[in-house]
Copies of this chain bind each other. A is one copy, B any other.
Amino acid sequence: VAEILVGAGEAAYRVVVARGASRGLGARLREDAGASPVMVIADDTTAALLGAALAEAAGATLHRVADGEASKSFAELERACTAAAAAGLDRGSTIVAVGGGVVGGLAGTVAAVYMRGVRLVHVPTTLLAMVDSSIGGKAAVNLPQGKNLVGAFKPPAAVHVDPDLLLSLPPRQLRSGLAEVLKCSMIADEQLYGSLLANHQKLLDLEMDLLTDVVTTCCAIKAGVVTRDERETGERAILNYGHTFGHGLEAATGYATLTHGEAVAVGMAVAARIGVEVGVTPADVEARQDELLDAYGMARRAPGAAGVEDVLAAIGHDKKARGGSTPWVLLESVGRATPGHDVPGDVVRGAAAWALGA
């Protein structure tokens, strides 16, 4: 069992990573809750996988949403808050998110705003949520104008990561999460890079002890970054490596064609290419990243997926922008990325054309 501390002081919380961590959790949630009602939020898939049983064992209300990104909406936020009120949740209550990034984002936002904030516990069920979205306290829902435009910084009280839950994850979703794992190694951990490259087949085959080690390492990397920069004013930006172009690509394709991980993989390739072009990233670092992406079967380009101008326009509207500029996160070596690079527009356009061109 690995326990990773995130944050400092009163707001610090533990990420527990252990095979089987979700077993027996209901009874513990019930104990922690005391007299206050608990609500479990899950989607149809994760309710069947774990959420319904967990809610029953915890004596909690189950609030169910439909699978998919559409559940991260303002309407679902209202429906969940209303359900929390109807279930009598009070200031001492706990909301338990059982699911991937969509459920975590919705439940985190509910827990942030219901009665101005109640306890939040994450039980991530996807690799993406385990290594990324459940740690760091970012929660949001979407508006028609863009993703994650409404939300809060809402650190959870605890995160329970059970890698065994990944055994039921569809392969494409697993690979989507692996893109964040690969990103972790490129921005922060050369040793992890070596291990990922050497063990790619075992990881793709879900060798659970190995995968648990990788998940633990990635959780620790993310925990370290967000502890040092909780409010995303500096270092935390490196976590967005591959995401500037990736988010633009997702937006320009209507979030329909590519998974988040597939878009991030292309974004990583674009960022490396840009980094080489502007002299920040050594050419061999790009080559080593290519090797890693290839080993995991991640496409580095998405020819014809979207128009260059559409992606560039979407990047310009990226919510990290402040007063108009779009800073880039670029690699300096394998295991080290730095934020805040200004990149000339024609360099961005050139890399976008490479990634999207036929």
Contact = CB atoms under 8 A, between A and B. Distances in A.
Contact of A91 (B114, B117, B150, B322): B322
Contacts of A114: 149-150
Task: Give the interface SS of chain A, mostly helix, strand, loop or mixed.
Answer: mixed
A324 B92 CA distance: 10
Contacts of A283: none
A134 to B, nearest CB: 16
Given A90-B319, A117-B153, A319-B115, A324 B35 contact: yes
A144 interface: yes
Interface string A141-156: 0011110011111000
Contacts of A146: 85
Interface stretch (A74-82, A176-184, A187-195, A346-354): A74-82
A210 interface: no
Residue from A35, A144, A150, A153 having most chain B Cβ neighbours under 10 A: A150
Given A78-B74, A81-B143, A138-B116, A92 B152 contact: no
A151 B81 CA distance: 11
B36 A322 contact: yes
A302 B43 CA distance: 48
A9 interface: no
A313 interface: no
A140 interface: yes
B324 A151 contact: no
A45 to B, nearest CB: 27
Residue from A34, A86, A116, A323 having most chain B Cβ neighbours under 10 A: A116
Interface magnitude class on chain A: 35 or more
Interface string A116-146: 1100000000000000000000101001111
Residue from A144, A151, A323, A324 having most chain B Cβ neighbours under 10 A: A323
A136 to B, nearest CB: 12
A81 B116 contact: no
A323 B81 contact: no
A74 B85 contact: no
A322 B150 contact: no
A82 B115 contact: no
Contact of A86 (B35, B115, B145, B319): B145
Nearest to A232: B116
A150 B92 contact: no
Nearest to A319: B115
A113 interface: yes
A198 interface: no
A153 B91 CA distance: 14
B152 A85 contact: no
A221 B112 CA distance: 28
Given A74-B78, A140-B116, A324-B35, A149 B85 contact: yes
A82 B144 CA distance: 8
Nearest to A140: B116
A149 B81 contact: yes
User: Closest 9 A-B residue pairs measured CB to CB?
Assistant: A35-B323, A85-B145, A92-B322, A74-B78, A113-B150, A116-B151, A81-B150, A91-B322, A85-B143
Given A113-B151, A115-B319, 4 more contacts: A74-B81, A82-B145, A91-B320, A92-B322
